[in-house]
Each structure stands twice: as structure tokens, then as C-alpha cells.
Structure 1
Amino acid sequence: MADRAGGPEGDIRVVVRCTQILGMFSREVRAVRLKDVAAELDLGRTTVYRYLTSMASAGLLERVDEGYALGPLAAQLGALALTDSDVVDIAGPYLRELSDAAGETSILAVWGDRQPVVVRTAEPFDRSLHISVRVGQTLGADAAQSAVFAAYGADGGAVADELAARDGVTAQRVRDRIRRTAQTGIAVSDTVTSGTRGIAVPVFDRDGDVAATIALLGTVHTLPGALDSAQATELRGTAARLSRALGYSGAVAAAGPSGGS
């Protein structure tokens, strides 16, 4: 059962084992347990534990109640793979125009394995101080982008429960934001501890599905939370133009009461 890795052959074995562990994840399998990995790889639990903890230290996995889930580095790599999608290729000029017009950082995010992932950003040229977000960063339950994906998804309530449970925030607060987003078509999220504010709207593809979210991120002092502010108007207009560029021909409207139930 021992899996001693030393030298080139050992290094290759380690890569193979890590790949096998990552291959156990799927849309249905969001977390793996030590005993299941040991059985799948036919290895001792002590050896598997070393693999799992090393992968968690590297960011490929993260410890959760159910065992181990995909970590931030895995999400970042997934985001880089998603850069081949149409919306990421097309969105660059739209983000640049939005950022310069609104004077805030603009963000494009797509839905990753379990949460939104940042795939492209733009920062305003004429503002020396602004908030930066790295490509590959995953967004939590309180993010405006999470509310948009949940509001326009098949089961916003289930998404709210999953996001809130994972991040340790109040599920009702997440549900309330999703409901408001479904009614208005725009999400607003304030992070009081850091003084930041995000506003986000959906981007639709030719089939009318949400391909991504586009958002503005600023401080509570520079980015208004009002849904009819100049920045919110710019954001909505940019999302509508980007949606049309993706082939969407419908009207950009609120999700309706079913989206945030």
C-alpha cells in the first residue's frame, strides 16, 4: 500500500495520483472523503492523507465538512480554461468602456463549479485609487454576482442555501438579496467591514441563458447603491450591448418572482 515517491519516477507517480484525485470530482461529486479516495486509488489512508493535505496546501483542494472540495487554485485554472468562451473573448472592450465611464473597476464573472469565478477585469484609467480583483478569484455568497446567478438560475433557493452554508453567512440575507435581484434585474452587495460595494447584472447568450455577469466594484463612498444611479445605468446598458453581441435578441428584464424563491 505504501506509495513512496522519490526521484523522477516518484515525481511522475505523484502527478498521476493527484490527477486521479482531481478526476473524482464532477457536477454530482462536490467533495471527496479520505476513505473513498483510499478505496479508489487502492492506497493506505496515511498515504492518501498526505496527498490530500499537500494538495490543500497548494490550493488544489480545500477542507470542508464533507471532506475535501476543489480549492481556489483549481478554480483559477478552471477560469483560465473558460477564457476560450465567446463571452470572455468579446467582453474586453465592453469592460474597458464601462470602467472608464463609471470610474470603477469592472468585472466579468462566469459560473464555476459551485460559485462565480472572475474571468476578466478592467480598471479605470483616470483614477489612481481603485479596487483590484484578480482573474481566477472565486466569489462568495454575499457577492452581487452570486445573487444574479441564483436569481436567474433554476433554483435560487437551493443556491442560496449552499452558498450561505459554505460561507457561514445568514441564509436569509442571501435569500433576500436574490429575491430583490429577481424583482429588479440588478444585485447590490455592500461589504461593510471593507467598505466596498458591488453591483451586478446578467449577460445573456443567444439562447436566453445567463452566460456571465458583469459588475462594477467600488467603495461605498464612490459607487452609489441606488438602482437608478448613473453607474447602474451604464452597467445595464453595457450588459445589454454585450448580450446583443452574443446573439441575444430578447428584452433584458427582471427574472421574476420564481428566480429568488
Structure 2
Amino acid sequence: MQEPAEIQSVSRAAQVLGLFGPLTPEITAAEAAERLGLNRTTAYRYCTSLVAAGLLERGVEAGSFVPGALLLQVGAFALGRRKVVDLAPPFLRGLSSRTNLTAVLSLWGSSGAVVTRVEEDSTRAALVTVRVGTQLSFDSAQAKVFLAYHHDQLSVTRLMTNVPETQRRELERVLERVRVRGFAANEDLDGIVAVGAPVFDEHGVCAAVAAVGTERSASTAEDSSTVRSVLETARALSKELGAEYPATD
């Protein structure tokens, strides 16, 4: 079965973008055609379409193309996400050690917070953990952090359109409280407690860090050691990323 034309177009465009690298900072349509097995007219059409989309720009040499501003922006964002993941482990270990709780780092995926790194406290007989790759529900502490601090609140509004109106209004009140206090908390019916706080880089919120445990081992009170430790970890990791941590009321 032949793939739909638009899928093939995306694949071909990705192949063109994949030609760039340290040894290939710019490329011509003729070179792209030769390396990808395309005719020159097709390769040129892809290159000019990518220019129109902002993914490529015209190079200094006649007929050449270089990575565009949009591609650089997306690349910088991707590197920022990878940077926080690479820097996070010692901060998570410190949080877990101080609180004797499970420390979790989440990133924002296409439709919610996704658990990316976990540091477990092995000293406790009863261990509460979260599986890496889990997409967290909107009522989780880390999802609330992202929803409260996300730079694109229009996207947040669209995501929340499927939430029943009464529940959505309550969630909006909760998010406003998160912005005032600087952290989010969650206690579920099984006695599991989570406290989350935002991590910032130069672009805004880039991750959420949380401590997870039982209602006997963790507290959501503002003046509790759990909340203080989570906030200190989030601020320290943000500082390591070169970001100013916003003041809270």
C-alpha cells in the first residue's frame, strides 16, 4: 500500500534536514538530490518549501541552504530538555536522601507531564515509586505545576476543554494557588502524597521535580520539610540551568 503523500513529504523533509551536520553546515539542492536519490527539481522544491516554513534559510553561496531560525529554535529547546535530564540525577538523589522519599523528574510531553527520571529511597520498608515513561494525569502534582507555569496558556486552555466544567473551574482555582505558593500537592485515595515544584531554564518552565511518599512519610503543609526540600531542589536545579527562579507571594 502506498503511503499518503503528506506522510511521504514529511519523511522526505526530515531526510533533507538530516543532511546537515558539523561537516555539512550548508548544502545545495543538487547535493541533496544526489545524496537522497531525488531529481534536482524535487530536491529544490523541498528546500524552498523548508525555507518558506522557516526550517531552512538561503546560504551565502548562490543556490545553497543553511538551517533556519525555526530549526535552531527547536534544536535549542530540545537541547535544553536534554540538559535538565542530564543535570537532574544528583539533585534528585539529594532530595531523596533528605526526605527519605522517592524523587521524580518529569518533562512536558505532547499532552501532559511524563515521568523521565526517578530516584528511589531504598531505606524504607514500604517503597512508593513511579515508572519512567508514565504520563501523569492532570490532577497529579507535577502536571499541575506545568499547567500553572506553562508559557502557552492558550495550549493549556485547549488541553482542558475535555475536562468537565465543574472540575475545570476547580482546577483553575488550584492552578492559581500553585502560582501563589510556588508548589503543587496531591493526595490520592490510596494515601499516596506528592509535592511538586517547577524547574526553569532561560525559556521558562522546563521540568517539574517532586517528592512522592505515603501520607505518613510526606506532608503537603507549606511549612513542612517535604515542601521546603522540594522547593530548594527546584531552585538549585534552576540555578544550575542559569535561570532566575520567580518569587512567590
Distance 1:222 1:82, change over 3 A: farther
User: d(CA) in 2 for partners of 1:191 and 1:199?
Assistant: 12
1:198 and 2:194 matched: yes
1:103 and 2:100 matched: yes
Partner of 1:186: 183
Q: How does 1:82-231 map to 2 (within 5 A)?
A: 85-154=82-151, 156=153, 159=156, 162-163=159-160, 165=162, 170-192=167-189, 194-205=190-201, 207=202, 209-231=204-226
Contact 1:100 1:126 in 2 (8 A): no
1:241 to 232, 236, 247: 236
Distance 1:152 1:84, change over 3 A: closer
Give the Å deviation of 1:169. Answer: 8.4
User: d(CA) in 1 for partners of 2:164 and 2:128?
Assistant: 22
Give the Å deviation of 1:147. Answer: 1.2
Runs of 4+ aligned structure 1 residues displaced above 4 Å come to 81-84, 155-158, 166-169
Give the Å deviation of 1:157. Answer: 7.6
User: d(CA) in 1 for partners of 2:153 and 2:81?
Assistant: 27
1:253 and 2:230 matched: no
User: d(CA) in 2 for partners of 1:157 and 1:144?
Assistant: 21
Give the Å deviation of 1:223. Answer: 1.0
Distance 1:164 1:121, change over 3 A: farther
Q: Percent identity at matched positions? A: 32
CA RMSD of aligned residues (A): 3.0
Give the Å deviation of 1:128. Answer: 2.4
TM-score (norm 2): 0.64
Contact 1:164 1:174 in 2 (8 A): no
Distance 1:82 1:121, change over 3 A: farther
User: d(CA) in 1 for partners of 2:168 and 2:214?
Assistant: 24
Give the Å deviation of 1:154. Answer: 3.5
For residues 142-197 of structure 1, the C-alpha deviation after alignment (integer angstroms, 9 at most, x for no partner) is: 011111111112455862662472699821232122111011111011212x2211
For residues 74-121 of structure 1, the C-alpha deviation after alignment (integer angstroms, 9 at most, x for no partner) is: xxxxxxx99970000010011011011111111100110010011101
**What SS class does the counterpart of residue 111 from structure 2 fall into?**
coil
User: d(CA) in 1 for partners of 2:216 and 2:186?
Assistant: 14
**What SS class does the counterpart of residue 100 from structure 1 fall into?**
helix
Which runs of no fewer than 5 residues in structure 2 stay unpaired? Answer: 12-77
Residue 253 of structure 1 aligns with an amino acid whose one-letter code is A
Distance 1:197 1:161, change over 3 A: farther
Q: How does 1:22-101 map to 2 (within 5 A)?
A: 85-101=82-98
* Number of aligned residues: 181
Distance 1:199 1:161, change over 3 A: farther
Residue 197 of structure 2 aligns with an amino acid whose one-letter code is V
User: d(CA) in 1 for partners of 2:113 and 2:144?
Assistant: 10
TM-score (norm 1): 0.61
For the pair shown, the structure with the greater C-alpha radius of gyration is 2
**What SS class does the counterpart of residue 244 from structure 1 fall into?**
helix
**What SS class does the counterpart of residue 189 from structure 1 fall into?**
strand
